[in-house]
A and B are shown apart, each in its own frame.
Chain A
Amino acid sequence: MIITPQELHNWVSKGRSFVAADIRPDEQRHHFPINGLEAITATAENLPPRKKEPLILICQFGVLTEELIFEQNLKNAYSLLGGVQSWEAFQTDKMDLSRWSRQTILTEIGIAGQRKLQDSKITIVGMGGLGCPAAQTLAASGVGNLQLIDGDLIELSNLHRQPLYNINDIGQAKVSVARKSLQNLNEKLTVIAKEIHLDESNAQELLKDTDLIIDATDNMKTRQVIDRTSKAENIPMVYGGLYRFEGQVAVLNHNGSPGYEDIFTAAPTGGDTCAEAGVLGMLPAIIGNIQALEAVKIIIGIKPDLSGKLLLYDGITHETNVINIGGKA
């Protein structure tokens, strides 16, 4: 069993009886002391004698203690989810980040990176094939604020590649259904749903207060509007596009990196829509997730990202090409 920092805090506040055992090595205990909790020192091989009270096992990230409970089949024992890392973060601002412990354990992310995600605001333009998976993984990863922009209603032909919607949602606004789906996934998420098509007349107002834009549109014209607004407002844009079994991703207008018109000229032509060219359902999930990955890297500051580069993915061969498009990488 697991117990979250919030739940354990509640136990402490209510005076519930339990035994907490810290199984970390001496050095780790010295460098990362536990605050706000009395814990006895123990090891995996030498756990405290079992009593009637629940046993709370504590390690640095909550992984070793979960394994210990499973391997020794311990009853009435709890692993502190996220370990001391999440417990200490909770002591700071009473924000329980333990659900993200599998990613805060990554040194590139940590608690500081998770807090950046929590504080970030990302706008997704287009809640179709790319927007759905991007929104889903951004919400799950702990991004705190999402703005969804799309004026379309859900159609039957959307369902094979847009996993936030189901058969009962047909005819409803995409952004409204997506908001409910995403908030079921992460109740701490704030979602602003804009049932509107983005165009030149509203782009600046809709996009000006966001930290990053995911371009998940299905047409060149809107993409160009996003590009111009992204450049003018100095907001990075993660572009994604699909053609049959192929996808493209680039990070644009980020710290001086090129924009969309630098890649494909100011008025490019060609490139059919998914309706015209067709698309296999898995492809937008792959490309939308790469867009979400790049967004998270930019918010946290993980380098290198796809600034100044165009990624080309082929779903048939799984060949990936990364083309340098110039500017600062």
Chain B
Amino acid sequence: MELYQLTIHELLDRLRVGETTSVAITASVFGRIDTVEKEVHAYITLMRETALAEAERADERIRKGEIGALTGIPVALKDIFCTKGVRTTCGSRILENFIPPYDATVVEKLRAAGAVFTGKTNMDEFAMGSSTETSFFGVTRNPWDLDRIPGGSSGGSAAAVAADECIASIGSDTGGSIRQPAALCGVVGLKPTYGRVSRFGLIAFASSLDQIGPFTKDVEDCAIMMNVIAGYDPRESTSVPEEVPDYRRFLGREIEGWKVGIPKEYFIAGIDPEVEAAVRRAIRVVEGAGAKCIEVSLPHTGYCLAVYYIVAPAEACSNLARYDGVKYGFRSGEGRDLMEMYKKTRAAGFGAEVKRRIMIGTYALSSGYYDAYYKKASQVRALIKRDFDEAFAKCDVILTPTTPTPAFRVGERTDDPMQMYLSDIFTISTNLAGIPGISVPCGFTAAGLPVGVQFLASHFQEGRLIQFASAYEKQAHIEQRRPTV
């Protein structure tokens, strides 16, 4: 085994006993990056020099016996998190030269825990997409099949973990942008409860839906990352002052007697048969561990996509009004007056998908349409949330496929926005209801593409998700394959 192939907990075990060093681990990861990055293109910006300096400092601390939760571990950051002094693009031309003057709270927390930052990962522009194809900085490839997309919007963060170009990474999830790429790249991805992780310094897409979470190689690493990033932040007014448990306590516990809700609306026509078969096997695994599966209903599931594609663009068009060529980022030199400068800057600075969503949002909020679109969507959102409240009165967790299909081909859906939007059909409801969700690998298709199973729990029950996912992972005996890249 190479060092870059190991998990956080395996590496920490070796660091603690002096069997390896952070410099060796970091050099191993960058060696791997040198081998595969030209094919995968998981990163927008690499932080090689600062990483090696951070690794040296981590080794000094380890020698003094000061080992934190992530001391010396190479971690990648989605390029949506502000990093002081390091270019942060959000995948967009309009921020191609933006150098933040401060760190996001999650970046501060990871740094304080001792993480070594490898770089900023590729993403759909402003996190708007399901394939990482809308990035201004090129397409990321799925490490399991380079002709296919890694999912999105946090495709770079998922691909980097799958291809061993970092040990773990951080992404953001507005409608599935952690869980969907985690499923398509065969890694673990968790979207916490809304408010659980501070969004300070996260470039905003849809502020009532955005949430930050980890990509890891296994569930134990997920718990380690959550211990570092979760918690209240006085700088973020929607972060919740709820106690954060030690998530590692939930690892390795039994799930016997747990009730698992299987929502009938998630096993629909159009779901890929191999995906369905893998998820049905996952159901048998948790039953084998003593859990009891019951059918539940989430009757408004069929409306989630329509609600999401009103609410998210409405919030986005307002959040993206700040990109006007004045305070930071790209400015077109063509405008003769202020209004022309705004329009030419935004027309040249944003890509097609971002413009499409700004247009939908502006339309949905505009005079005469507000009630028909935004208000109506917010009312249906209330019903979607109620569906989950009612389901969780009957079960401890809900089990669904993470995605309806395995990774699709690069270019396959770029010309058809509706087809692209359908790839998030099983993940969007979670964000609308604000509940946590985790995607865990549950097998492979015959063509060797990974499949993910999603577990959902009620608000602030990330510990329950980690317990369930850990028990599943232990029982499932998913074949330990590695991508061929």
Co-complex (A, B):
no
